[in-house]
Amino acid sequence: MIIPLLKHNLSSAIKTFFLLFALICLYTITIIYMYNPELSDMLSGYQDVLPGMMSAVGMTGIASNLLEWIQIYLYGFIMELFPMIFVIVLGNRLIMSHIDTGSMANLLSTPHSRFRIIFTQLISSIMLITCLLSAVTAVGIISSHILFPGELDITRYIQLNVSTLLLQLIILGIVCLAACVCNEARYYYTFGAGIPIIFFLLQMLSNMGEKLEKLKYVTIYTLLPAKEIIHGESYWIYNLSMILLALALFSFSIFWFDRRDLSI
């Protein structure tokens, strides 16, 4: 890695990091604060009145414990959407913007290889999204301990967030590959942002069930084993699939960037 470049990347993304961190923490603390088995029955009534809307955002089912409550009302929408936005912003800021504005020439003029440059950008992005989800996890654990001592299954909560991180790494791989392939920011947003958003919308449609349920087979969000983790079922195949897919996307990104013609 190029340490000065790594430090610059981390400092340049700090404002966006804290903005998304604050938003996710606000939702996390609010959902935990609202936990109430009796309220769960009431919310299930909304699922009957607005089945399409509630299903689309993954807010279906009746929670019998705090972990199920958090999974239902956070991990079908908020914990998928906000980290995805952060990843898309990172891809533009750390890779695409340098190519689009021509500042990549400054990096390439240094005595560092293309491999070290793109590897540093990837590691920076991985570190930032990992820190974001780790910090959110810590806030969730602390909030649950303060508001409902002993009611959160911390082990499974951490497992849920690890799997969420792996899903975001796949999105990061898509974003980085798009940034390494495209020459202009508009094309980057078309593919780097467009593909993850399409996957997200397909997941929302598949959640609505019936004929649309088959759409789950064409979206990466199906790989998140939230229900398997909650119910104590085996989920290692999902995590392994996400790891392999993320590594493949990262490898393609590095390969393409190392060999592409940068007309800057």
Query: 227-264: per-residue pLDDT in tens?
Result: 899 988 999 999 999 999 999 999 999 998 888 766 55
What local confidence, expressed as pLDDT, does residue 239 receive?
96
What local confidence, expressed as pLDDT, does residue 37 receive?
64
Q: Is residue 54 part of a domain?
A: no
What local confidence, expressed as pLDDT, does residue 199 receive?
93
Beta strands in the chain (DSSP E): none
Largest CA distance in the chain: 63
Residues 6 or more apart whose CB falls under 8 angstroms from that of 184 comprise 100
**146 — pLDDT class (breaks 50, 70, 90):** very high
Paired tokens of 140:
């969730």
Cα separation of 258 and 153, whole Å?
A: 45
Q: Which residue has the tokens 């604060």?
A: 33
What local confidence, expressed as pLDDT, does residue 2 receive?
87
Q: Which amino acid does the sequence have at 66?
A: L
Q: Is pLDDT of 95 > 80?
A: yes
Q: Is residue 87 part of a domain?
A: yes
pLDDT digits (tens, 9 = 90+) for 115-137: 889 999 999 999 999 999 999 99
Over range 190-217, report the average pLDDT.
85
Cα separation of 9 and 3, whole Å?
A: 10
Q: Is residue 225 part of a domain?
A: yes
pLDDT digits (tens, 9 = 90+) for 45-84: 555 555 555 566 556 667 778 999 999 889 888 999 999 9
Over range 133-143, report the average pLDDT.
97
Q: Which residue has the tokens 């792996």?
A: 166
Q: Is residue 57 part of a domain?
A: no
CA 134, 150, 226, 19 dihedral sign is negative
Over range 100-107, report the average pLDDT.
78
**20 — pLDDT class (breaks 50, 70, 90):** very high
Total domains, the chain: 1
DSSP 8-state secondary structure symbol assigned to residue 150: T
- CB-based contact 244:173 (threshold 8 Å): no
Q: Is residue 89 part of a domain?
A: yes
Tell how far CA 36 is from the center of its chain: 28
Q: Is residue 59 part of a domain?
A: no
Range of the domain at 218: 3-36+66-259
What local confidence, expressed as pLDDT, does residue 28 receive?
95
Q: Is pLDDT of 154 > 90?
A: yes
What local confidence, expressed as pLDDT, does residue 262 receive?
67
- CB-based contact 73:59 (threshold 8 Å): yes
What local confidence, expressed as pLDDT, does residue 223 receive?
93
